[in-house]
């Protein structure tokens, strides 16, 4: 069972789960559109953005990560609420609304 941190809270997560599953199991809300616990993750909407930090020697991920497609790993530090995460989600929502067919 990997141990991860989500917003500073330590969690024991079953191997093979994704970040969004771990968050929901712990009662931590992550906004999403396309994810459903009964379906395989698609990663289409990009609304479940989170910030992930890995312990050394792992290289840091570039930018924000999609929680529904990111498997948990030992020592992972996840932030679901920060200014850059909120900005990323806002940008994704704006993109979805701008490109939505209105007819």
Which range of residues forms the domain containing residue 22? 3-98
Q: Is 79 part of any domain? A: yes
Q: How many domains does the chain divide into?
A: 1
* Pair 2, 13: CB distance under 8 Å: yes
Q: Is 23 part of any domain? A: yes
Q: Is 76 part of any domain? A: yes
Q: Is 17 part of any domain? A: yes
What strands lie across the sheet with 65-66, from one edge to the other? 9-12, 3-6, 77-79, 49-53, 65-66
Its pTM stands at 0.88
| CATH at 15 | 3.10.20.740
- Tracing tokens 């850059």 back to the chain, one arrives at 84
Q: Is 103 part of any domain? A: no
Predicted confidence (pLDDT) per residue in 29-63, tens digit: 999 988 888 888 888 889 999 999 998 787 777 88
């Amino acid at each position: 069972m990997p141990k991860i941190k989500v917003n500073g809270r330590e969690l024991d997560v079953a191997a093979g789960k994704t970040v969004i599953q771990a968050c929901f199991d712990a009662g931590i809300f992550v906004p999403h559109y396309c994810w459903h616990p009964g379906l395989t993750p698609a990663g289409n909407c990009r609304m479940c953005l989170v910030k992930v930090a890995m312990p050394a020697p792992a290289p840091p991920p570039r930018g924000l990560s999609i929680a529904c497609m990111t498997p948990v790993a030992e020592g992972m530090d996840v932030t679901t609420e920060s200014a850059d995460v909120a900005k990323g989600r806002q940008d994704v929502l704006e993109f979805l609304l701008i490109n939505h067919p209105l007819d």
